[in-house]
Amino acid sequence: MAKYFADVSSFQRDDLGFFQELVNAGVASVLIKTTQGSPDGDNYINPKSTNQARNALAAGMNVGFYHYFLATSVTDAINEAKFFEQSVINLGFGKDTPLCVDVEDPSLNTSAIASYVDTFINYLETQGYTNVFQYSMESWFNQGILNANKHPTWVASYGSSDCGARGNIVAWQYTSNWGGSSQDMSYDWGIFDKQPAKTEAATQPTVEPEKPKVENVIKLTEQTHPVDRLGIERPETYEVGSTWKSSDIVMINNEPHYQIATDIFVPISKTTFKDFIIVKYTDDSPAPVFDSKGKRVQNASVSTGKSFKTAGFKVINGIPMAKIATDQFIPFEYTSGSRFE
């Protein structure tokens, strides 16, 4: 089952009922805007952030925070990071809380902003925060304004079949009109796997961070006739947008297929994983990466939950693998939808 989180600011409500409605709709987590700019700049603190955090926790949600970035220099970036950090401290949250820098304002200097974002994130990490990431629209990553590989990345892309950017993608904001209202909603691909520390008001025991989980759920991007193991088309038709749980990935008619029932398969090319994979390996060690000759690539490995844009596939030594970089491949066995455990 897909995981979701909402992001809220002073434009949203702060009462318990609002957050309970989100929970009832299957939304387990929330990111709350706390600050914007710096004390000598906008000096903005969301006046609803305290109630929003308290009531989100009371509704049983996971809670993180974000800062709206306006820095114009390295010094300014540090000041904004300190301003944001203090807001998190004042709310009573710990070092493992998800923290995001929201980088999208049109006034930002796009030729220099990446270094300012680096400074902001590096400051928080040196203070001991362990779950810090960046946010922007997919065009800023694709144009090279920001680097989606350098930091964990939450990307905004609406009306598309996937997130539109490639790199260390941990979340995808796929709509700004969830539920028919002006509510942003995102897929969570790892942000809230670590449970944030609770405030005293929550009166809940501290829990150990959860290990990354990868759901074997695939979604069809076009109307599809499944096939059996021999590649013979079955009479039933599955609709666009329907979701299925896959138990394996096998080669049929020279193409990887997801197994969604005992002898029912759908091709990867007709799913949201057409050119995109999520790594599924053991919790305690990273997945190996191979070259086109089937040799292990030294110093190249990826952990469970990481996602990659793929450039097709290749069967190497009899094993179908997804191409993730120049002469670098990951076996489909180590991706979401396989039976590997």
Instruction: Give per-residue pLDDT as tens, 146-195.
Output: 999 999 999 999 988 889 999 999 999 999 999 888 899 999 998 998 54
| Residue 108's pLDDT band (cuts 50, 70, 90) | very high
- On whether the CB atoms of residues 20 and 52 are closer than 8 A, the answer is no
Cα–Cα distance measured from residue 261 to residue 32, given in angstroms and rounded to the nearest whole number:
40
Contacts within 8 Å (CB) and 24+ apart, 36-44: 36/67, 36/68, 36/70, 37/68, 37/70, 37/80, 37/83, 38/70, 38/71, 38/76, 38/79, 38/80, 38/83, 39/79, 39/83, 40/79, 41/70, 41/76, 41/79, 41/80, 42/70, 43/83, 44/68
Please say if the pLDDT value at position 199 is more than 70: no
In the predicted model, is pLDDT for residue 324 greater than 80? Answer: yes
For domain 4-194, the CATH class is: alpha beta
**Quick check: pTM over 0.85?**
no
* pLDDT on residue 208: 42
Q: Which of 19, 8, 3 is nearest to 61 (CA)?
A: 19
Instruction: Over range 119-148, report the average pLDDT.
Output: 96
Count of beta carbons in the 10 Å neighbourhood of residue 287: 19
Residue 182 burial by Cβ neighbours in a 10 Å radius (0-12, 13-18, 19+): exposed
Assess whether pLDDT exceeds 50 at residue 29: yes
pLDDT digits (tens, 9 = 90+) for 81-99: 999 999 999 999 989 999 9
200 has a pLDDT exceeding 60: no
* DSSP code, position 110: T
Domain residue ranges in the chain = 4-194, 217-334
Mean pLDDT for the stretch of residues 59-87: 95
218 versus 233: the higher-pLDDT residue is 233
- When pLDDT is averaged across residues 117-133 and rounded to a whole number, the result is 95
Gap between the terminal Cα atoms of the chain: 17
- Please check whether residue 222 is in contact with residue 240, taking contact to mean a CB–CB distance below 8 angstroms: yes
